[in-house]
Chain A
C-alpha cells in the first residue's frame, strides 16, 4: 500500500521515474482516491504545460552587446550598469535621486550612523593611545620600579627646568624628511628584557620614538630613561635644547670607588653621579642642581633630572651621554658587546679630553649659564666626530665663541691607546669614582644602526661611564654602503676624525686590544636608521 502523502513518491510518479510496479500501485490508489487522482492529473498537466511553453528568441545583438561591454570594461573599467540593448532597455537601477524619499532617508540615516561609529572608534583609539602614554609616563605602578628607591627623583623636579620644548628625543627630523623608520624598526620592549639593571620592560622607549605624541614632560622622560637605560640608582640628566635636540646623560659611580655593576648599586652618590654625566661635545659639564651644594651629602637615592639649554645640532635628534669611569668594565663589555651582538660599526673614534673638569664644571654650571658652542661642520653621515668637538670647558669656564676653535685639545693622536693611557693618570692613583680635575676622559665614538640600540644600551650601560647616543644622523647608510662590523674596524682609531674606507675592507680591528688598553670613559654612539 502506498502512502498517498509521500511527496517523493508522488514526485517520482510525476517525473516518470517510478518502477512500473510502484507506478501501478500509484495509479491504483488514484482510482480509489478521487482527490489524489485530481491532484496528480493537474500536476501532470501543469508539468506538461510548463515543458510546452514556447521558447523565446533572444535579442539578436546579445553577443554584440557582450563584446561591446567587454571593450568598455577594458577601456574604462567595469561600468555600473550593462550596456543597454538596442531594444527597450530600461534602467533597472534607478539613480539615488529617483529613489523614494523614505529610502533616501534610510540611506542618510545609515550613513550617519556609520559616520558616528567611525568617529567614535577614532576617538576611542586616540584616547587609548594617550592613556597608554600617560601610563608609561609613570602613573602605572608596574612601570615605576625606581620610585621606591628614588622618592625624590620626580617629586623634587626643579620648576626652573620645566620642559617647554617640543617633542623630545624624537624622530621629528626623520618624519619631516620622510625618512622615519618604521615602527617595527624601533626597539621593541622585548628587546630590553636582557638588559642588566632594567627590572621592568622598558616600554618607555616609545616615548622617544614618536613625534606625534604631545610634548613629554621631564618627569616622563626621566622615567622613560630610567626604565629603558638607567640602572635603578643612576642619575639622569636630560637636557632640553632646541626642540629637536636633547642630551641625556646617565652615569653612576659608587661612593667608595667601586663602580662595577656587581658592586653595590645603591651606594651611588650624588656628586659622583652628577660628575659622571657630561657632554663633551658641547664643552659643558652638566650636573644636578644640588651636586655642588651638597657635595658632602651622601644618600643612596638617585639624583634629579637636570636640564639645561644646549644648542640644537642639525641632524642630531638624540644624544644619550653616559660617562664612565669604570675603565676595565668598559673594555670587557665593549668586547662582549661587539662579539655577541655583532654590532654594525661604521667607524670607531676615540679621544680623550684634557681633564674631565667635572668637579669644576659642576660649580660653573651652578653659577654660570651654559653657553653654546657653535656646532662644527660634520661630514655626511658622521655629524660631529670627537676630534671636531671642542675641548671640555672645565678649565676655561663657560665656553666662549672661540671655544670651538680649540680642536687641538682633542687633536688626533698618533700613538695607540696604550700611549694614551700613559698620558692619563693611572687609575690606581685616581679612584675612578672620584672625579679628578685633570683626569682625562677617554671616549669612543661608534656608529651603529638603530637596530642595535637595545643591545648597545644593554651592553654599555655601566656605572661610572658616559654614553652618548646620537640618533638619526643623516644621511643614513645606504644599501651600497656596507656597514662595518666592529671586528672589521680599523685599528687606528686615534687618527681623529677618521672615516674608515669601506672598500677594500680594513684589516680586522684590534678592538679587543683597544678596549683593554684604553681607559675608556666616554662612549659616543651615533645611531643610524637601519637601511
Chain B
C-alpha cells in the first residue's frame, strides 16, 4: 500500500495502456498480472481503464452523480483490496462490474430507507394526492440534492428513461443496466449478478415491459397535465 496507484492524466480507455516505461504498451492482461502480483501502478492503470464504465453503470443504478462517484470510489477501493484474490475464473470486467453493482445495490437500499423516512415525515400530502404523475415525479426525484437535470421538467427521452429505470426494483434495474448500458451478454450478467441465464432473461424482459409501462403512464400524465402547465 505504500506505492501509490497510477493516476493517468490521459484517457485510458483503450485496450493498450501506456506503461511506466516509455515506449512500452501494456495490455490489460499484463496489467492484470502485474496488479495481482501487487503492482500498484498497473492496478491504477487498470482502474483508469474501467473507471468510466464503472461510474456510468453505477450512475444508471443510483441516478445521482455524486452518489455514483461515491459508490464507484467504494467499488474501486474494494477492487484494490481484493485484486490479489482475483482468480481469473471470470472476466475482469465481470468481476469489477459485480463489485460495483453490489456497492450500488447496497447504496440504494440505504438510500431507500432514508427516502422512505423522508416521505413518511414530510410527504404525506404528496402521497395522498390524486395526481399520479405528480406523485410519480415526487417519488422519482432525488429529494436530497436534485441535479440540474432534475430541476427542470424531464422532457428528454433519456431523462424519462432514467426516471423509469429508477423506479424499477433493484434486481430488474441491475439486469437492464448491465444489458443496455454496459451491453454485457447474458452469461456475463448472470455471472455479475450471480443468477442463472434464464433468470436474467426473464428479469430483462419484465424490466423492459415495466419501463415501457412507466413511460407510457408518464406520457399520459404529461399529456393530462400539459395544458394546465
Contacts and interface: CB of A to CB of B under 8 A. Distances in A.
Given A50-B181, A63-B44, A94-B114, A88 B145 contact: yes
A52 to B, nearest CB: 7
Interface in A50-73: 50-59, 62-67, 69-71
A437 B69 CA distance: 97
A93 B4 contact: no
A14 B66 contact: no
Interface of B: 1, 4-7, 44, 47-48, 51-52, 54-56, 59-60, 65-70, 72-74, 76-77, 80, 107, 110-111, 114, 117, 120-121, 144-145, 157-158, 161-162, 165, 176, 180-181, 183, 201-202, 204-206, 208-209, 211-212, 215-216
Given A42-B212, A55-B52, A88-B145, A66 B204 contact: no
A511 to B, nearest CB: 61
Nearest to B117: A100
Given A11-B204, A92-B107, A92-B111, A49 B157 contact: yes
Contact of A82 (B70, B110, B120, B157): B70
A93 B121 CA distance: 17
Given A14-B208, A69-B73, A92-B67, A63 B158 contact: no
Contacts of A62: 51, 55, 69, 72-73, 76
B204 A63 contact: no
Contact of B80 (A58, A66, A100): A66
Contact of A90 (B77, B145, B158): B145
Given A46-B208, A63-B76, A82-B73, A92 B110 contact: yes
B211 A46 contact: yes
Nearest to A14: B208
A378 interface: no
Contacts of A99: 117
A89 B59 contact: no
A90 B51 CA distance: 21
Most chain A Cβ neighbours within 10 Å, of B4, B51, B69, B212: B69
Given A46-B161, A56-B55, A63 B5 contact: yes
A87 B121 CA distance: 29
Contacts of A54: 158
Given A54-B158, A56-B65, A74 B5 contact: no
A47 interface: yes
Given A62-B76, A67-B4, A69-B77, A92 B161 contact: no
A83 B70 CA distance: 8
Contacts of A55: 52, 56
A100 B122 CA distance: 11
B201 A8 contact: yes
Contacts of A10: 205
A22 interface: no
Nearest to B67: A92
A55 B57 CA distance: 9
Nearest to A71: B1
Contact of B51 (A63, A82, A100): A63
Contacts of A85: 66, 69-70, 73
Contacts of B55: 56, 58-59, 62
A100 B205 CA distance: 38
